[in-house]
Structure 1
Amino acid sequence: MHFPVWFRYHPKNSYSIAALLPLVEADLARQPKDGIMLYSFATAQAKEVYAEVDRARAFGAAQAVYIAGGPHPSALPEEALQHFDFVVIGEGEESLPQLIRALGRGSDPAAVKGIAFKRQGRVLFTGNREPVDLDLYPPFSRILAPIEISRGCPWGCTYCQTPRLFGFCMRHRSIEVIERYARRHKDIRFTSPNALAYGSDGRRPRMEKVEALLLALWEQKKPIYFGTFPSEVRPDFLTEKALELITRYCANKSLSLGGQSGSPTVLCRIGRGHGREEIEAACDLALEFGLTPQVDFIFGLPQESEEEQRQTLDLVRWIVAKKGKVRAHRFTPLPGTPLWGELPAPLAGEVEACLGRLALEGRVTGSWSASKDKTA
């Protein structure tokens, strides 16, 4: 039996759709339709997505099988199955096409690894899959997206879903495959939890691998943006050698750095694996090479004291005084992480006020309001 298959499109999930669209025969939808409806979503979208699916079921808007995937359903499949028929857990490149084929043939979905569904009122998890070989699957087809060059992360920061979703062992696309898909872009951008970890185990950089990648792409004579959003760079990976490569081969005017806190105690507590000194050194080095450091910080991490928040604020002021930029974020607990279920620490009034002033001056961007606590 053939079912029409639809990806529920939203700009926030376009990268995941871009990666999966080459693997299934599907179209895009902006509302539920008859057939098989595929949703990929993060925690911030979950409430809205659940409401849409529940409304469609209640009013018979679509005769559909609903399949969920992405960070939030992968971490909370039991919750997702209160609204969806199936959940694809973790990587979907193999599980999703196999599940769709099973539904079309009327075969038992329990034979498909990496999914969860309800049978006789009980949640059945079909078992873990081995991590996929990225070279076997295209990063995009009909929808262009930044090229995912690496997946997974060995650091295990307590607030982050990446290693819980994709594993603690880094995997990389080969230069040959990256080159092939880069030819479809006018300028070349990437996704990676740490761009400078390309070709490495994620703990010790291998600059010869990064250089080989950038040299191969540079020969395409297109602008290359490496270590900029939507990827970032760990500050402890930023060296003179790394910056020599970036300034030689890339069009970057900035670098995205994951700082997260200016408090040595907090950095240790959340498992960052580097200190404040590495953040400061990375900013200084970037500026020496003519690049603007754009540093991310999280405010309101659990158990964060006012003094620890002030330490982070002091580092923010130091960065913007040097003409760097800062993106400030309010801590949001994410399912599957060690900090899931923890409450954000209250944001000190003086810290919030100072961030507001810096934002008005155009030196800080982001969202850090304590009102986030109401929905966290």
Structure 2
Amino acid sequence: NTPSRHEVKIVDEERRGIDFNCDADLVGISCVTPQAPRAYEIADKFREKGVKVVLGGWHPSALPEEAKQHADAVVIGEAEETWPKLLKDLQENELKPFYKNNKPVDLRKIKTPRRELTGGVNLIGAVQTSRGCPMGCEFCGVSNSIYGKVFRMRPIEDVVEELQSIKQRQLWFYDPSLTINPRYTKELFRRMKELNKRFIAFGNIDVLSRDDELLKLAGEAGCRMWFIGLESLSQKVIDRLGKKSNKVENYASAIKKIHDYGIGVIGAFIFGFDEDTPDVFNYTTEMVYELAIDTPEFTILTPYPGTPLFERLEREARILTYDWSKYTEKGNVVFQPKNMTPSQLLEGTNKAIREVSSLSGFMKRTIYDKHFFVRNITQLLR
């Protein structure tokens, strides 16, 4: 939502280096928690050269006072409405330290992203149809940080227009969940039938387990996989997290129903909950095969700033490091688990990942699920 009178240049450091001698009036940097140290380093370098810097995104929104130490201004939360105000203040030499919306952004007013500014070639297109999540899970930054719990949807016509402008056939819907409003999603899928796209989307297992029409339309629209946050095989854990959509006893039947419509399942599990013991790793990997999950995703519980989980573990003196670069969900344990050591959590997660990613793990999935091989090869050829 940058006014047209301003010239915009986007630099993705993963693709090309940053020119710290560029002729910029303002540098805006967005980051998530593990990127924060590098974002602060970049910001400091530009400020040393007299360039104004604005920080925003997940981490600065959670810790604005920390971010302000490295920036002239911090945008807290969604930026579509505050960004034009910030630019106006900059021109008038009245830049404020913090910019924050008092209410969620109306998604009818946001503009289609200017993808031509990113440069390079993306193999997968990224689309967002909605923001906010009413779940409020303890560990999740979606509802507890930048977007909040108020669920909002973009007009379907705007989404379809954006989809038509995306050259890539492969898409990823990065909504927190594309099943929060099934009526909206069904209409979107009906409109997508003629677009010849293939996509992956996040979904809640309770809706997918009972809505055959949604699954049918998803398949017709080009859905290859549903990414489902199963989180844990312990109902006690699920209940404490507040994830009301998940009933462990229904996992198997729900996954079978999704498979019946020719759609695969990415099943995401998190290790390190207070109820988890060292037995959780072997039990979860074995259940992955029994549940016929196509692609298991294992991560380590990570208490991101701004979440209730971070606040609780900090109160309990269980945060082991504030080196944000280690908050990666894989490869590091940044808190003290309750029923195992940090090394047991790290090693157990790594072992589970190796198991399901191995040739033997692949073969086990074909043994437990006789349709696994055909379903996934078919998806690749579609």
Please report the TM-score for the alignment, with normalisation by the length of structure 2.
0.74
* Alpha-carbon distance in structure 1 between the residues aligned to 2:348 and 2:58: 34
Note if contact 1:309-1:351 (Cα within 8 Å) is conserved in structure 2.
yes
* Alpha-carbon distance in structure 2 between the residues aligned to 1:309 and 1:46: 30
Q: Which amino acid aligns with 1:53?
A: A
Alignment of 1:293-332 (within 5 A): 293-302=265-274, 304-309=276-281, 311-319=283-291, 322=292, 324-332=294-302
* Alpha-carbon distance in structure 2 between the residues aligned to 1:8 and 1:251: 32
Single out whichever of 233-242 and 152-161 deviates more from structure 2: 233-242
Q: Which amino acid aligns with 1:242?
A: L
- The counterpart of 2:110, out of the listed 131, 137, 140, is 137
Structure 2 residue 358 is matched with structure 1 residue 360: yes
* Alpha-carbon distance in structure 2 between the residues aligned to 1:126 and 1:253: 40
The share of aligned pairs that are identical, in percent, is 27
* Alpha-carbon distance in structure 2 between the residues aligned to 1:127 and 1:153: 19
Q: From the superposition, tell whether residues 155 and 311 of structure 1 become closer, same or farther in structure 2 (CA, over 3 Å).
A: farther
Structure 2 residue 37 is matched with structure 1 residue 63: no
Single out whichever of 70-79 and 29-38 deviates more from structure 2: 29-38
Could you tell me which residue of structure 1 aligns to residue 366 of structure 2? none
Q: What are the superposed Cα offsets for residues 98-130 of structure 1, whole Å, 9 maximum, x if unpaired?
A: 101210122x344xxxxxx2xxxxxxx565422
Could you tell me which residue of structure 2 aligns to residue 211 of structure 1? 186
Structure 1 residue 279, shift from structure 2 partner: 2.8
Note if contact 1:301-1:344 (Cα within 8 Å) is conserved in structure 2.
no
* Alpha-carbon distance in structure 2 between the residues aligned to 1:139 and 1:363: 42
- Structure 1 or 2: more helix by fraction: 2
Could you tell me which residue of structure 2 aligns to residue 287 of structure 1? 259
Q: From the superposition, tell whether residues 126 and 47 of structure 1 become closer, same or farther in structure 2 (CA, over 3 Å).
A: closer
Structure 1 residue 307, shift from structure 2 partner: 4.4
Note if contact 1:8-1:37 (Cα within 8 Å) is conserved in structure 2.
no
- The counterpart of 1:91, out of the listed 73, 78, 89, is 78
Structure 1 residue 5, shift from structure 2 partner: 5.8
Q: What stretches of structure 1 of length at least 5 have no aligned partner?
A: 13-27, 111-116, 118-124, 201-205, 365-376
Q: What stretches of structure 2 of length at least 5 have no aligned partner?
A: 119-124, 320-334, 363-382
* Alpha-carbon distance in structure 1 between the residues aligned to 2:13 and 2:95: 27
Structure 1 residue 6, shift from structure 2 partner: 5.1
Could you tell me which residue of structure 2 aligns to residue 174 of structure 1? 155
Could you tell me which residue of structure 2 aligns to residue 24 of structure 1? none
Could you tell me which residue of structure 1 aligns to residue 131 of structure 2? 151
Q: From the superposition, tell whether residues 6 and 244 of structure 1 become closer, same or farther in structure 2 (CA, over 3 Å).
A: closer
Note if contact 1:7-1:37 (Cα within 8 Å) is conserved in structure 2.
no
* Alpha-carbon distance in structure 2 between the residues aligned to 1:350 and 1:296: 16
Q: From the superposition, tell whether residues 333 and 46 of structure 1 become closer, same or farther in structure 2 (CA, over 3 Å).
A: same
Note if contact 1:263-1:309 (Cα within 8 Å) is conserved in structure 2.
no
Structure 1 residue 7, shift from structure 2 partner: 4.4
* Alpha-carbon distance in structure 2 between the residues aligned to 1:45 and 1:281: 39
SS at match of 1:295: strand
* Alpha-carbon distance in structure 2 between the residues aligned to 1:302 and 1:100: 45
Could you tell me which residue of structure 2 aligns to residue 190 of structure 1? 173
SS at match of 1:183: helix
Could you tell me which residue of structure 1 aligns to residue 308 of structure 2? 338
Q: Point out which structure has higher relative CO (alpha carbons under 8 A, 6+ apart).
A: 2
* Alpha-carbon distance in structure 2 between the residues aligned to 1:127 and 1:355: 40
Structure 2 residue 12 is matched with structure 1 residue 9: yes
Please report the TM-score for the alignment, with normalisation by the length of structure 1.
0.75
Q: Which amino acid aligns with 2:259?
A: L
Note if contact 1:326-1:363 (Cα within 8 Å) is conserved in structure 2.
no
Q: From the superposition, tell whether residues 133 and 100 of structure 1 become closer, same or farther in structure 2 (CA, over 3 Å).
A: same
* Alpha-carbon distance in structure 1 between the residues aligned to 2:50 and 2:75: 20
Q: Which amino acid aligns with 2:295?
A: K
Structure 1 residue 310, shift from structure 2 partner: 5.0
Structure 2 residue 215 is matched with structure 1 residue 243: yes
Q: From the superposition, tell whether residues 38 and 44 of structure 1 become closer, same or farther in structure 2 (CA, over 3 Å).
A: same
Could you tell me which residue of structure 1 aligns to residue 243 of structure 2? 272
Q: What are the superposed Cα offsets for residues 207-231 of structure 1, whole Å, 9 maximum, x if unpaired?
A: x332221112224x32242xx1xx4
Structure 2 residue 74 is matched with structure 1 residue 81: no
Q: Which amino acid aligns with 1:277?
A: E
Q: What are the superposed Cα offsets for residues 71-111 of structure 1, whole Å, 9 maximum, x if unpaired?
A: 000000011111111110000111112101210122x344x
* Alpha-carbon distance in structure 1 between the residues aligned to 2:7 and 2:205: 46
Q: From the superposition, tell whether residues 94 and 242 of structure 1 become closer, same or farther in structure 2 (CA, over 3 Å).
A: same
Structure 1 residue 150, shift from structure 2 partner: 0.7
Would you say how many aligned residue pairs link Structure 1 and Structure 2?
315
Could you tell me which residue of structure 2 aligns to residue 371 of structure 1? none
Could you tell me which residue of structure 2 aligns to residue 234 of structure 1? 204
Single out whichever of 340-349 and 253-262 deviates more from structure 2: 340-349
Note if contact 1:147-1:191 (Cα within 8 Å) is conserved in structure 2.
yes
